[in-house]
Structure 1
């Protein structure tokens, strides 16, 4: 063979040599020269499509088969197909030891570089072969033998008894790895699944076994079907487990529920024991996310002595607790559900200043009484309240009713200047106070005494919440105050009225939402509003911020909702005329609306024109219906007022125009129908009364035979 390097190729295997380091520059090492087409044909890619560039020293060739070759051999590198990397072996010293390669295919080729079986050792033949390569000829037969030898050597390397000891070394390494796998090693938490990791962490806790057993008992103890004897037995076992450990278990999310359950279902002995164990930690429990519920259960299921002890632990800390997200809930719960008058007064007094946190005045129940007895302290008390309340203007804190009480006391006794400053602080957050009576009163005071900017900001904060405000027992009164005081009716229409119109079906059918609609139609009408409500609303008349004339403001608001209200009646006529609660609203819409009510009157008349059979219970007619006949009666009586006002649209005329022939005769067959006919005759309208009398002449004989009260009166009217 020639002095040049041997080029071996097997399927998915490639071996080439590069020039020596002395012949190649660093640039050439990174980018090899482009080979000839003849050498590309003999190349194959690596077994995995990818290989690594390895520079390895070769072992000495076996004796007897060693060809004559120089100490340094060189060959041009051959590029591979796109996406494949090449293996380049550089030989510097043939006497160097064998170094193990990472890829097994390269190991086979390295071992096969010695002459395989069947290859000639003649220098002439090797020289002839190299000459043929130089001339561009391919020694195909010899290369095929070399490939077969390389494949055979590869099998030996991967099996037992491999030549050169490479296979043996590899086998020893494999055995070492297997032993390492069998050996015990500590399992890391990162290697575990999430559930297994969580369970392992729980087991590392010293209270794991106690916790698991306590939760098993808790699952059974809270069942409703458990007998009292069994519940008492399980409570005893559960208390035996957590006894002395409650102060440690009460702060966890699961064991806290176990203790709460025992406090609920356990006997008084266990309740007292738990209280004695945890009573010194009540302030700490109140600020805990889970332990706070123990204090809540203690207030609900504890004795009066235990409840008073909880109040004593809150004493002096109300202002601090109310600002805390967890403790504030317990203070609010205690204030609303369990505090008596003296306890509520004492809790509110703590907002008056530091001295009132320590020294209470049981004989004085309100700030008004305190100021009356100590007029010189008014300024100090109001200053302390302002400092405290300014910090409480937060969404979560403003939801507490105790804060609403304090704000109400401050607004009642503050000077106009101090009140204006507090309104400016509170105006964007007042939306969170409308669910209580005191909170709604505070919001109304802000609207009455705030500047035009304060009112505008406050109304805009109501956006998207108008429906909820309308349905609030106290919150709807804030909207009534806004209708009476805000001069900017354009803003009111965009923010308030448009949302009312959008949700009109839900608002007008609610008992509080209906008040909002009625106040737009007929404000302060004693027929719809209680005197106590009007007494509160009238307080806003003294405000100095409203400049627009009251009549103009009311007319502009009514114009914005008149047409939608009439359309609503026309679309939901059947539900309205058969609902007792909606009767007055319907009359108010038809009476006070600024839009044409003809469509609504026609819709009602069409329902009245349906065939009528006296005494039918399946489809009760509007004439005989409890609410329906009152609707017709009120609308006919309302026509008299419309006639006096000069209105051209009269319900009675529209009704008679739509009713089919003979409908009035059928109405005379029932008592309620007779009274409707009586009101039509008594209307004394030139187009109504004569027409009714004319149609009822044929039924006079029948009316004489009827004993109904309405029939007798109708007969007299016809005579």
Structure 2
């Protein structure tokens, strides 16, 4: 029976298969592509579309979930209350005035103090802002109580995105004890902080702004080896002091310093005073091979490392000891920042170092001098920018540059790879710049005689001016000087230019330089002045003490011909001079006898 049923089922199956239409093939037994597509067609979606979600309900549920999650934090209620008070304190004016503000600040502080909560909540952005507010507007007691809880977690704060801002406020508004305690907590982590993207900026702020010389010495030591992370040595003020009494330690100290600097270099975190100090000390002590390797890494960052005294010295080391390729990289890096660097307190030394040591003056003119000459007035008006312009027309002149700086440049240049004779290099730079400078003086004389410091630069430019432009420059200066309406700003007041002490000194120096001009058979300022001066100006000058002294300077430094011309102009006013009681008038009267 079973066998019969089985045979019947097999027969039925064979009959069913025989009635099926055979599938077309490609001749190789494979089903054709067209048929395969029809075989795997998707069934039509007969389901009804789902309803749109209620977004308001979803948002509400999400908000409730967020609140529940926050409520799991044991500080939730305290933080909510603190934020309410903080929102009130942020108002510019309160109804209760200063008393209400102080009361709210005390209440806000009372929510956290004495419970160890400050150290736990400052890593959140909202509470971090509250703590910064307390440091800024709280009284001395509040600042101290907050600082006492935060100082132990200084290391964690520095590495926190929001905690570091609280640390910065603590340093900014805290007293010297708070700052000192905070910085001492950083001991042992100097290398770590300078090579950490989050902590580097605030650590630099602490080091450069608030660290005492002793703090700086202790932090710098940590770059010289791990031993100095735990133990500080008051005798180690420079890298060389590590091995001064133990020469066998030199290799280890240099290797440790190199490794620590490499950590910072790999992160490009060179905008740091402590790093720049270590760079300068290392470049002064390392071997020529290590120096060449480091210079090639530092060359593209010449602008960044020039923002501190030691950083500028490190940049100058790169200029002196770098190859021609390195110098080209340095110039390329500086090219776009010449104006700002020239006006920087320390960066202008880097620019002067380039002007003093680079042999390729053609490239120097293209990359450095051209941007400088396009910003002449802006540089002339700046204390440090003037130094750069003065180096072009009066290099190594002790009248304008400190002897120590001149000696430093001489020593660096002597040890550098520069080959071109010094005077030739300086003359080439002067030839590139002097015509532009003297033409600026001629075309905008009022600006170039607007203050004593700018006039000092004007004097240096005139002294180095080519003879074909000298007469025009002297004439234009004379026209400004003899103008009775010539005034300059001094201490927010208008002052006659002739009475300005700085300008008076410059005019006397220019008159005294006439002897040099005369020996070289060049035009003199005295001649231009007497040719331009009017009777009105003479009369006014005789009533001014410094005006009389200018006439004395003209007489003392002039030729016999000029003295006679001066007497001729002043003789009709002898009575006026006698009636004037100033010391300048008395001396002038004696000269005219």
Query: Given the superposition, is the C-alpha separation of residues 715 and 326 from structure 1 closer, same or farther in structure 2, using an over 3 Å criterion?
Result: same
Q: Which has the higher helix share?
A: 2
2:111 pairs with 1:240: yes
- CA–CA distance in structure 2, aligned partners of residues 652 and 234 of structure 1: 71
**Does the 8 Å contact 1:664/1:677 carry over to 2?**
no
1:327 maps to which residue? 199
2:530 maps to which residue? 656
Q: Computing the radius of gyration over CA atoms, which structure comes out larger, 1 or 2?
A: 1
When structure 1 is superposed on structure 2, of 435-444 and 359-368 the one drifting more is 359-368
Query: What is the CA distance between 1:462 and its match in structure 2?
Result: 0.3
TM-score, length-scaled by structure 2? 0.79
When structure 1 is superposed on structure 2, of 361-370 and 448-457 the one drifting more is 361-370
Q: What are the Cα deviations for residues 140-178 of structure 1, in whole angstroms up to 9, with x where unaligned?
A: xxxxxxxxxxxxxxxxxxxxxxxxxxxxxxxxx9xxx9x
Counterpart of 1:397 (choices 269, 280, 291) is: 269
**Does the 8 Å contact 2:217/2:237 carry over to 1?**
yes
- Secondary structure of 1:398's partner? coil
- Secondary structure of 2:397's partner? coil
- CA–CA distance in structure 2, aligned partners of residues 619 and 414 of structure 1: 56
**Does the 8 Å contact 1:447/1:455 carry over to 2?**
yes
1:604 maps to which residue? 477
- CA–CA distance in structure 2, aligned partners of residues 609 and 302 of structure 1: 56
- CA–CA distance in structure 2, aligned partners of residues 336 and 674 of structure 1: 51
Query: Given the superposition, is the C-alpha separation of residues 394 and 429 from structure 1 closer, same or farther in structure 2, using an over 3 Å criterion?
Result: farther
1:709 maps to which residue? 583
Counterpart of 1:589 (choices 461, 469, 486) is: 461
Gaps of 5+ in 1: 1-172
1:700 maps to which residue? 574
**Does the 8 Å contact 2:257/2:282 carry over to 1?**
yes
**Does the 8 Å contact 1:282/1:295 carry over to 2?**
yes
Alignment of 1:397-436 (within 5 A): 397-436=269-308
When structure 1 is superposed on structure 2, of 563-572 and 625-634 the one drifting more is 625-634
When structure 1 is superposed on structure 2, of 576-585 and 465-474 the one drifting more is 576-585
1:219 maps to which residue? 87
2:102 pairs with 1:231: yes
**Does the 8 Å contact 2:526/2:558 carry over to 1?**
no
TM-score, length-scaled by structure 1? 0.66
Query: Given the superposition, is the C-alpha separation of residues 535 and 188 from structure 1 closer, same or farther in structure 2, using an over 3 Å criterion?
Result: farther
**Does the 8 Å contact 1:235/1:262 carry over to 2?**
no
1:296 maps to which residue? 168
- CA–CA distance in structure 1, aligned partners of residues 62 and 453 of structure 2: 59
Query: What is the CA distance between 1:712 and its match in structure 2?
Result: 3.7
2:18 maps to which residue? none
Q: What are the Cα deviations for residues 32-82 of structure 1, in whole angstroms up to 9, with x where unaligned?
A: xxxxxxxxxxxxxxxxxxxxxxxxxxxxxxxxxxxxxxxxxxxxxxxxxxx
Q: What are the Cα deviations for residues 81-118 of structure 1, in whole angstroms up to 9, with x where unaligned?
A: xxxxxxxxxxxxxxxxxxxxxxxxxxxxxxxxxxxxxx
- CA–CA distance in structure 2, aligned partners of residues 670 and 250 of structure 1: 67
2:33 maps to which residue? none
- Secondary structure of 1:206's partner? helix
RMSD: 3.6
Query: What is the CA distance between 1:398 and its match in structure 2?
Result: 0.6
Query: Given the superposition, is the C-alpha separation of residues 585 and 254 from structure 1 closer, same or farther in structure 2, using an over 3 Å criterion?
Result: same
Query: Given the superposition, is the C-alpha separation of residues 611 and 421 from structure 1 closer, same or farther in structure 2, using an over 3 Å criterion?
Result: closer
Alignment of 1:61-80 (within 5 A): none
1:260 maps to which residue? 132
**Does the 8 Å contact 1:244/1:277 carry over to 2?**
yes
Gaps of 5+ in 2: 1-47
- Secondary structure of 2:303's partner? helix
When structure 1 is superposed on structure 2, of 507-516 and 662-671 the one drifting more is 662-671
- CA–CA distance in structure 1, aligned partners of residues 258 and 565 of structure 2: 73
How many residue pairs get matched? 531
2:3 maps to which residue? none
1:556 maps to which residue? 428
Alignment of 1:88-99 (within 5 A): none
**Does the 8 Å contact 2:548/2:584 carry over to 1?**
yes
Query: Given the superposition, is the C-alpha separation of residues 467 and 401 from structure 1 closer, same or farther in structure 2, using an over 3 Å criterion?
Result: same
Query: Given the superposition, is the C-alpha separation of residues 273 and 665 from structure 1 closer, same or farther in structure 2, using an over 3 Å criterion?
Result: closer
**Does the 8 Å contact 1:239/1:270 carry over to 2?**
no
Counterpart of 1:635 (choices 483, 486, 510) is: 510
Alignment of 1:613-692 (within 5 A): 622-647=497-522, 649-660=523-534, 663-664=537-538, 667-685=541-559, 688-692=562-566
**Does the 8 Å contact 1:566/1:600 carry over to 2?**
yes
